[in-house]
Protein backbone atom coordinates (compact mmCIF):
# COMPACT_ATOMS: atom_id res chain seq x y z
CA UNK A 1 0.00 0.00 0.00
CA UNK A 2 1.38 3.46 -0.85
CA UNK A 3 2.29 5.60 2.20
CA UNK A 4 -0.33 8.28 1.46
CA UNK A 5 -3.03 5.63 1.22
CA UNK A 6 -2.09 4.13 4.62
CA UNK A 7 -2.14 7.56 6.23
CA UNK A 8 -5.50 8.49 4.66
CA UNK A 9 -7.10 5.20 5.71
CA UNK A 10 -5.78 5.51 9.28
CA UNK A 11 -7.03 9.09 9.53
CA UNK A 12 -10.48 8.16 8.13
CA UNK A 13 -10.69 5.29 10.62
CA UNK A 14 -9.96 7.53 13.62
CA UNK A 15 -12.20 10.32 12.35
CA UNK A 16 -15.02 7.78 12.17
CA UNK A 17 -14.22 6.42 15.62
CA UNK A 18 -14.15 9.93 17.12
CA UNK A 19 -17.56 10.76 15.70
CA UNK A 20 -19.24 7.52 16.73
CA UNK A 21 -17.33 7.01 20.01
CA UNK A 22 -16.78 3.35 19.12
CA UNK A 23 -14.56 1.23 21.37
CA UNK A 24 -11.15 0.46 19.86
CA UNK A 25 -7.80 -0.88 20.77
CA UNK A 26 -6.01 -2.03 23.70
CA UNK A 27 -5.33 -2.52 27.42
CA UNK A 28 -4.35 0.78 29.11
CA UNK A 29 -4.81 0.41 32.89
CA UNK A 30 -5.81 4.05 33.44
CA UNK A 31 -7.15 5.02 36.84
CA UNK A 32 -10.44 6.03 35.20
CA UNK A 33 -12.15 7.28 38.36
CA UNK A 34 -9.27 9.67 38.85
CA UNK A 35 -9.31 10.91 35.23
CA UNK A 36 -13.10 11.28 35.23
CA UNK A 37 -12.79 13.77 38.07
CA UNK A 38 -11.45 16.41 35.64
CA UNK A 39 -11.63 15.07 32.06
CA UNK A 40 -15.03 15.12 30.27
CA UNK A 41 -16.61 11.85 29.18
CA UNK A 42 -16.47 12.94 25.52
CA UNK A 43 -12.65 12.66 25.69
CA UNK A 44 -12.49 9.54 27.83
CA UNK A 45 -14.76 7.53 25.57
CA UNK A 46 -12.49 8.07 22.55
CA UNK A 47 -9.30 7.12 24.38
CA UNK A 48 -7.59 4.67 22.05
CA UNK A 49 -4.22 4.17 23.70
CA UNK A 50 -2.38 1.03 24.78
CA UNK A 51 -0.65 2.32 27.92
CA UNK A 52 -0.52 5.29 30.28
CA UNK A 53 2.59 7.24 29.22
CA UNK A 54 1.53 10.40 31.05
CA UNK A 55 0.41 8.67 34.22
CA UNK A 56 3.60 6.85 35.14
CA UNK A 57 5.19 9.48 37.36
CA UNK A 58 7.25 10.47 34.33
CA UNK A 59 5.97 14.05 34.26
CA UNK A 60 7.34 16.81 36.51
CA UNK A 61 5.93 20.26 37.38
CA UNK A 62 6.90 23.08 35.01
CA UNK A 63 7.88 20.81 32.13
CA UNK A 64 7.01 21.09 28.45
CA UNK A 65 5.40 17.84 27.26
CA UNK A 66 4.71 16.85 23.66
CA UNK A 67 2.10 14.17 22.87
CA UNK A 68 2.42 12.63 19.39
CA UNK A 69 -0.97 11.53 18.03
CA UNK A 70 -2.91 13.10 20.88
CA UNK A 71 -6.35 11.96 19.67
CA UNK A 72 -9.14 13.27 21.93
CA UNK A 73 -6.46 14.54 24.32
CA UNK A 74 -6.64 12.17 27.29
CA UNK A 75 -2.87 12.00 27.90
CA UNK A 76 -2.41 15.72 27.21
CA UNK A 77 -4.98 16.50 29.89
CA UNK A 78 -3.34 14.12 32.37
CA UNK A 79 0.02 15.77 31.57
CA UNK A 80 -1.62 19.20 31.94
CA UNK A 81 -2.50 18.34 35.51
CA UNK A 82 0.95 16.94 36.30
CA UNK A 83 3.02 19.80 34.82
CA UNK A 84 0.85 22.32 36.70
CA UNK A 85 -0.13 25.78 35.52
CA UNK A 86 3.52 26.76 34.91
CA UNK A 87 4.06 23.83 32.53
CA UNK A 88 3.02 23.50 28.92
CA UNK A 89 1.57 20.65 26.85
CA UNK A 90 1.44 20.33 23.06
CA UNK A 91 -0.69 17.67 21.36
CA UNK A 92 -0.10 16.85 17.68
CA UNK A 93 -2.61 14.95 15.56
CA UNK A 94 -3.36 14.63 11.85
CA UNK A 95 -7.12 14.04 12.20
CA UNK A 96 -9.40 17.10 12.31
CA UNK A 97 -12.26 15.33 14.11
CA UNK A 98 -9.89 14.40 16.95
CA UNK A 99 -8.44 17.93 17.11
CA UNK A 100 -11.92 19.49 17.27
CA UNK A 101 -12.92 17.38 20.28
CA UNK A 102 -9.59 17.93 22.04
CA UNK A 103 -9.64 21.73 21.50
CA UNK A 104 -13.27 21.99 22.64
CA UNK A 105 -12.44 20.26 25.92
CA UNK A 106 -9.18 22.08 26.75
CA UNK A 107 -10.85 25.06 28.50
CA UNK A 108 -13.20 22.72 30.39
CA UNK A 109 -10.25 20.69 31.75
CA UNK A 110 -8.37 23.91 32.62
CA UNK A 111 -11.35 25.16 34.58
CA UNK A 112 -11.73 21.78 36.35
CA UNK A 113 -8.06 21.99 37.35
CA UNK A 114 -8.47 25.57 38.61
CA UNK A 115 -6.18 27.09 35.95
CA UNK A 116 -6.94 30.61 34.70
CA UNK A 117 -6.25 29.47 31.13
CA UNK A 118 -5.42 26.18 29.47
CA UNK A 119 -1.77 25.12 29.36
CA UNK A 120 -2.53 22.68 26.51
CA UNK A 121 -2.53 23.46 22.79
CA UNK A 122 -3.44 21.07 19.98
CA UNK A 123 -1.65 21.45 16.65
CA UNK A 124 -2.50 19.75 13.38
CA UNK A 125 0.51 17.86 12.04
CA UNK A 126 2.16 14.61 11.12
CA UNK A 127 4.27 12.52 13.47
CA UNK A 128 7.07 12.42 10.90
CA UNK A 129 7.11 16.21 10.32
CA UNK A 130 6.03 17.79 13.57
CA UNK A 131 5.15 21.50 13.78
CA UNK A 132 7.45 21.91 16.81
CA UNK A 133 10.74 23.80 17.24
CA UNK A 134 14.06 22.01 17.68
CA UNK A 135 14.96 21.13 21.28
CA UNK A 136 11.62 22.37 22.62
CA UNK A 137 10.42 19.50 24.82
CA UNK A 138 11.43 18.02 28.17
CA UNK A 139 9.29 14.94 27.69
CA UNK A 140 7.78 13.33 24.61
CA UNK A 141 4.87 10.97 25.14
CA UNK A 142 2.77 9.03 22.65
CA UNK A 143 0.09 6.41 23.11
CA UNK A 144 -0.46 3.79 20.43
CA UNK A 145 0.38 6.01 17.45
CA UNK A 146 3.85 5.29 16.07
CA UNK A 147 2.78 1.82 14.87
CA UNK A 148 0.31 3.68 12.63
CA UNK A 149 2.99 5.80 10.96
CA UNK A 150 4.31 4.31 7.71
CA UNK A 151 7.88 5.63 8.23
CA UNK A 152 8.75 5.05 11.89
CA UNK A 153 12.43 5.93 11.54
CA UNK A 154 11.41 9.39 10.38
CA UNK A 155 9.17 9.72 13.47
CA UNK A 156 12.04 8.68 15.77
CA UNK A 157 14.34 11.25 14.10
CA UNK A 158 11.67 13.92 14.60
CA UNK A 159 11.37 12.96 18.26
CA UNK A 160 15.10 13.37 18.72
CA UNK A 161 15.05 16.75 16.95
CA UNK A 162 12.32 18.22 19.15
CA UNK A 163 13.61 16.78 22.47
CA UNK A 164 15.69 19.10 24.66
CA UNK A 165 19.26 17.93 25.34
CA UNK A 166 18.74 16.10 28.64
CA UNK A 167 15.12 15.38 27.62
CA UNK A 168 13.41 12.00 27.42
CA UNK A 169 10.48 10.08 26.00
CA UNK A 170 7.92 7.69 27.45
CA UNK A 171 6.08 5.96 24.62
CA UNK A 172 3.39 3.28 24.72
CA UNK A 173 2.95 1.30 21.54
CA UNK A 174 2.15 -2.11 20.06
CA UNK A 175 5.04 -4.34 18.98
CA UNK A 176 5.25 -7.93 17.72
CA UNK A 177 7.44 -10.86 18.77
CA UNK A 178 8.41 -11.52 15.13
CA UNK A 179 8.25 -9.60 11.84
CA UNK A 180 4.66 -9.03 10.69
CA UNK A 181 4.19 -10.89 7.37
CA UNK A 182 3.21 -9.03 4.20
CA UNK A 183 -0.36 -10.42 4.10
CA UNK A 184 -1.01 -8.63 7.41
CA UNK A 185 1.02 -5.54 6.52
CA UNK A 186 -1.26 -5.02 3.51
CA UNK A 187 -4.48 -5.57 5.46
CA UNK A 188 -5.93 -2.04 5.69
CA UNK A 189 -8.32 -2.89 8.52
CA UNK A 190 -5.49 -4.23 10.70
CA UNK A 191 -3.48 -1.01 10.20
CA UNK A 192 -6.22 0.85 12.02
CA UNK A 193 -6.24 -1.85 14.73
CA UNK A 194 -2.58 -1.06 15.52
CA UNK A 195 -1.45 -4.46 14.22
CA UNK A 196 -0.23 -4.25 10.58
CA UNK A 197 2.28 -1.51 11.28
CA UNK A 198 3.76 -3.07 14.43
CA UNK A 199 7.54 -3.45 14.47
CA UNK A 200 9.42 -6.10 16.38
CA UNK A 201 10.79 -4.87 19.69
CA UNK A 202 14.31 -5.18 18.23
CA UNK A 203 13.47 -2.93 15.26
CA UNK A 204 11.57 -0.47 17.43
CA UNK A 205 14.45 0.04 19.82
CA UNK A 206 17.02 0.02 16.98
CA UNK A 207 15.05 2.83 15.32
CA UNK A 208 15.14 4.89 18.50
CA UNK A 209 18.84 4.26 19.00
CA UNK A 210 19.47 5.09 15.33
CA UNK A 211 17.82 8.46 15.95
CA UNK A 212 20.21 9.11 18.86
CA UNK A 213 18.29 8.09 22.00
CA UNK A 214 20.08 6.04 24.67
CA UNK A 215 19.21 4.34 27.94
CA UNK A 216 16.14 2.81 26.25
CA UNK A 217 14.32 0.48 28.60
CA UNK A 218 11.01 -1.14 29.35
CA UNK A 219 8.63 0.52 31.78
CA UNK A 220 5.68 -1.80 31.33
CA UNK A 221 4.34 -4.48 28.99
CA UNK A 222 1.06 -6.31 28.55
CA UNK A 223 -0.25 -8.87 26.06
CA UNK A 224 -2.65 -7.69 23.37
CA UNK A 225 -3.51 -10.25 20.65
CA UNK A 226 -2.16 -13.39 19.01
CA UNK A 227 -2.80 -13.63 15.27
CA UNK A 228 -1.53 -16.63 13.31
CA UNK A 229 1.01 -17.32 16.05
CA UNK A 230 2.32 -13.74 16.11
CA UNK A 231 2.17 -12.22 19.58
CA UNK A 232 1.27 -8.54 19.59
CA UNK A 233 1.86 -6.80 22.89
CA UNK A 234 1.88 -3.33 24.30
CA UNK A 235 5.12 -1.88 25.63
CA UNK A 236 5.87 1.38 27.36
CA UNK A 237 9.48 2.42 26.76
CA UNK A 238 11.55 5.30 28.09
CA UNK A 239 14.84 6.64 26.69
CA UNK A 240 17.00 9.77 26.85
CA UNK A 241 18.53 12.43 24.64
CA UNK A 242 21.66 12.73 26.74
CA UNK A 243 23.25 16.12 27.26
CA UNK A 244 27.00 15.72 26.69
CA UNK A 245 29.32 17.43 29.13
CA UNK A 246 26.96 17.25 32.09
CA UNK A 247 28.50 14.18 33.77
CA UNK A 248 30.44 14.37 37.02
CA UNK A 249 34.10 14.84 36.06
CA UNK A 250 35.38 12.92 39.13
CA UNK A 251 33.86 9.60 38.00
CA UNK A 252 36.15 7.27 36.01
CA UNK A 253 35.01 3.71 36.84
CA UNK A 254 31.79 1.70 36.91
CA UNK A 255 31.34 -1.57 38.81
CA UNK A 256 28.35 -3.76 37.91
CA UNK A 257 26.42 -4.77 41.05
CA UNK A 258 24.09 -7.28 39.33
CA UNK A 259 21.71 -9.06 39.29
CA UNK A 260 23.07 -9.78 35.79
CA UNK A 261 26.49 -11.42 35.79
CA UNK A 262 27.54 -9.55 32.62
CA UNK A 263 26.02 -6.72 30.57
CA UNK A 264 26.93 -4.75 27.44
CA UNK A 265 25.76 -1.13 27.47
CA UNK A 266 24.49 0.76 24.42
CA UNK A 267 27.88 2.41 23.88
CA UNK A 268 29.47 -1.05 23.59
CA UNK A 269 31.23 -1.37 26.96
CA UNK A 270 31.11 -4.81 28.62
CA UNK A 271 30.89 -5.06 32.43
CA UNK A 272 31.42 -8.17 34.56
CA UNK A 273 29.74 -8.13 37.95
CA UNK A 274 32.05 -6.94 40.70
CA UNK A 275 34.90 -5.84 38.40
CA UNK A 276 35.58 -2.10 37.89
CA UNK A 277 35.54 -0.93 34.26
CA UNK A 278 37.12 2.37 33.13
CA UNK A 279 34.44 4.60 31.54
CA UNK A 280 34.32 7.79 29.45
CA UNK A 281 32.36 10.95 30.39
CA UNK A 282 29.64 10.00 27.87
CA UNK A 283 29.25 6.64 29.59
CA UNK A 284 29.06 8.32 33.00
CA UNK A 285 26.19 10.39 31.65
CA UNK A 286 24.44 7.23 30.39
CA UNK A 287 24.96 5.20 33.57
CA UNK A 288 23.61 8.05 35.69
CA UNK A 289 20.14 7.58 34.18
CA UNK A 290 17.40 5.41 35.68
CA UNK A 291 17.29 2.44 35.77
CA UNK A 292 20.97 2.00 34.81
CA UNK A 293 22.15 3.86 37.90
CA UNK A 294 20.72 1.17 40.19
CA UNK A 295 22.88 -1.52 38.53
CA UNK A 296 26.26 0.22 39.02
CA UNK A 297 28.55 1.84 41.52
CA UNK A 298 30.33 4.79 39.91
CA UNK A 299 33.68 5.74 41.46
CA UNK A 300 36.77 7.85 40.94
CA UNK A 301 39.13 4.93 41.66
CA UNK A 302 38.64 1.20 40.83
CA UNK A 303 36.21 -0.52 43.20
CA UNK A 304 35.89 -4.33 43.40
CA UNK A 305 32.86 -6.11 44.84
CA UNK A 306 32.54 -9.72 45.96
CA UNK A 307 29.61 -11.89 47.05
CA UNK A 308 30.09 -10.93 50.69
CA UNK A 309 29.46 -7.25 49.89
CA UNK A 310 25.81 -6.30 50.42
CA UNK A 311 25.91 -4.18 47.24
CA UNK A 312 26.47 -7.38 45.17
CA UNK A 313 23.16 -8.67 43.79
CA UNK A 314 22.50 -12.04 42.17
CA UNK A 315 19.64 -14.49 41.62
CA UNK A 316 20.84 -18.08 41.38
CA UNK A 317 18.60 -20.72 39.74
CA UNK A 318 17.02 -23.33 41.99
CA UNK A 319 18.84 -26.67 42.02
CA UNK A 320 15.72 -28.55 40.94
CA UNK A 321 14.13 -30.10 37.84
CA UNK A 322 12.28 -27.79 35.49
CA UNK A 323 9.49 -27.87 32.90
CA UNK A 324 9.25 -26.41 29.41
CA UNK A 325 5.88 -24.70 29.20
CA UNK A 326 6.24 -22.46 26.14
CA UNK A 327 7.59 -19.35 27.86
CA UNK A 328 9.90 -16.96 26.03
CA UNK A 329 11.70 -14.06 27.66
CA UNK A 330 12.07 -10.83 25.69
CA UNK A 331 14.79 -8.72 27.20
CA UNK A 332 14.08 -5.01 26.77
CA UNK A 333 17.08 -3.11 28.00
CA UNK A 334 18.61 -0.85 29.10
CA UNK A 335 21.48 -3.05 27.83
CA UNK A 336 22.22 -4.50 24.41
CA UNK A 337 22.95 -7.82 26.04
CA UNK A 338 22.85 -9.33 29.53
CA UNK A 339 23.77 -12.70 31.04
CA UNK A 340 22.27 -14.36 34.12
CA UNK A 341 23.88 -16.83 36.55
CA UNK A 342 22.74 -19.89 34.57
CA UNK A 343 24.50 -19.45 31.19
CA UNK A 344 21.67 -17.60 29.46
CA UNK A 345 22.50 -14.62 27.27
CA UNK A 346 19.55 -12.28 26.66
CA UNK A 347 19.86 -10.08 23.57
CA UNK A 348 17.56 -7.08 23.53
CA UNK A 349 14.32 -7.76 21.70
CA UNK A 350 15.14 -11.39 20.79
CA UNK A 351 12.76 -13.93 22.33
CA UNK A 352 14.67 -16.64 24.24
CA UNK A 353 12.87 -19.85 25.22
CA UNK A 354 13.13 -20.45 28.96
CA UNK A 355 12.13 -23.26 31.29
CA UNK A 356 10.12 -22.90 34.51
CA UNK A 357 13.29 -22.49 36.59
CA UNK A 358 14.53 -19.58 34.49
CA UNK A 359 11.04 -18.09 34.46
CA UNK A 360 11.23 -17.99 38.25
CA UNK A 361 14.54 -16.10 37.98
CA UNK A 362 13.31 -13.51 35.48
CA UNK A 363 10.21 -12.93 37.60
CA UNK A 364 12.26 -11.78 40.59
CA UNK A 365 12.37 -8.07 41.41
CA UNK A 366 15.84 -7.40 39.98
CA UNK A 367 15.07 -9.03 36.61
CA UNK A 368 11.33 -8.58 36.06
CA UNK A 369 11.27 -4.89 35.06
CA UNK A 370 13.55 -5.66 32.09
CA UNK A 371 11.56 -8.49 30.54
CA UNK A 372 8.32 -9.06 28.65
CA UNK A 373 7.27 -12.70 28.92
CA UNK A 374 5.20 -14.39 26.23
CA UNK A 375 3.94 -17.96 25.97
CA UNK A 376 4.06 -19.42 22.47
CA UNK A 377 2.52 -22.79 23.38
CA UNK A 378 -0.85 -22.83 21.68
CA UNK A 379 -2.18 -25.65 23.86
CA UNK A 380 -1.54 -27.02 27.33
CA UNK A 381 1.97 -28.49 27.62
CA UNK A 382 2.36 -31.67 29.63
CA UNK A 383 6.07 -32.50 29.29
CA UNK A 384 7.94 -34.30 32.07
CA UNK A 385 10.30 -32.49 34.37
CA UNK A 386 13.83 -32.19 32.99
CA UNK A 387 16.96 -32.36 35.08
CA UNK A 388 18.64 -29.00 35.24
CA UNK A 389 21.60 -29.44 37.52
CA UNK A 390 24.27 -26.83 36.79
CA UNK A 391 26.51 -29.19 34.74
CA UNK A 392 23.69 -30.62 32.67
CA UNK A 393 22.24 -27.18 31.77
CA UNK A 394 18.77 -27.79 30.35
CA UNK A 395 18.21 -24.35 28.89
Q: What is the contact surface with ligand SAM in residues (CB under 6 A)?
A: 10-11, 14, 25, 47-49, 69-72, 74-75, 93-95, 98, 126-127, 143-145, 148-149
Q: Are 191 and 232 in contact (CB under 8 A)?
A: no
Q: Quote the strand ranges of 69-118, DSSP E.
A: 88-93
Q: Considering beta carbons, is residue 11 or 261 the nearer one to ligand SAM?
A: 11
Q: Considering beta carbons, is residue 204 or 271 the nearer one to ligand SAM?
A: 204
The least CB distance from residue 193 to ligand SAM, in Å, is: 9
The least CB distance from residue 182 to ligand SAM, in Å, is: 21
The least CB distance from residue 4 to ligand SAM, in Å, is: 11
Q: Considering beta carbons, is residue 31 or 363 the nearer one to ligand SAM?
A: 31
C-alpha 65/C-alpha 53 separation (Å) is: 11
C-alpha 4/C-alpha 61 separation (Å) is: 38
Q: Considering beta carbons, is residue 11 or 288 the nearer one to ligand SAM?
A: 11
The least CB distance from residue 78 to ligand SAM, in Å, is: 10
CA dist 141 → 19, 58, 88, 137, 372 (Å): 24, 10, 13, 10, 21
Q: Considering beta carbons, is residue 72 or 276 the nearer one to ligand SAM?
A: 72
C-alpha 266/C-alpha 215 separation (Å) is: 7
CA dist 366 → 212, 230, 291, 356 (Å): 27, 28, 11, 17
Mind giving me the DSSP string for 180-205?
A: PPHHHHT-HHHHHTT-TTPEEHHHHH
Task: Choose among 6, 27, 16: nearest CA to 233.
Answer: 27
The least CB distance from residue 75 to ligand SAM, in Å, is: 6
C-alpha 5/C-alpha 9 separation (Å) is: 6
Mind giving me the DSSP string for 326-387?
A: SEEEEE--SSSEEE-TTS-EEETT--EE--HHHHHHHTSTTTGGGEEEEE--SS---PPPB-
Any bridge partners for residue 143, and if so which? 172
Q: Considering beta carbons, is residue 92 or 388 the nearer one to ligand SAM?
A: 92
The least CB distance from residue 81 to ligand SAM, in Å, is: 16
Q: Considering beta carbons, is residue 126 or 175 the nearer one to ligand SAM?
A: 126
Mind giving me the DSSP string for 200-236?
A: EHHHHHHHHHHHT-EEEEEEEEEEEEEETTEEEEEEE
Q: Are 177 and 155 in contact (CB under 8 A)?
A: no
Q: Considering beta carbons, is residue 67 or 265 the nearer one to ligand SAM?
A: 67
The least CB distance from residue 189 to ligand SAM, in Å, is: 14
Task: Choose among 170, 174, 83, 154: nearest CA to 121.
Answer: 83
Q: Considering beta carbons, is residue 35 or 298 the nearer one to ligand SAM?
A: 35
Amino acid sequence: MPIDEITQKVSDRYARAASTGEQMCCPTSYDMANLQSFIPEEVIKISYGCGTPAGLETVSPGETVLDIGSGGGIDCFEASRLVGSSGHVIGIDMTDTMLTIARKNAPIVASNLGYTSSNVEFRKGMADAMPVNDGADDLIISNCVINLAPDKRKVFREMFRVAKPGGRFTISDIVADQPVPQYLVHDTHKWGDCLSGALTLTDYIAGMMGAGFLGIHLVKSSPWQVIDGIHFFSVTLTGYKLAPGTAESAVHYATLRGPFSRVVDELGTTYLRGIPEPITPDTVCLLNQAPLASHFILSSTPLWLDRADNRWTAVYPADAPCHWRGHFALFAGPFLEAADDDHHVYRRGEPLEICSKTLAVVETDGYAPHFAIINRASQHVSGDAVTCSPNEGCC
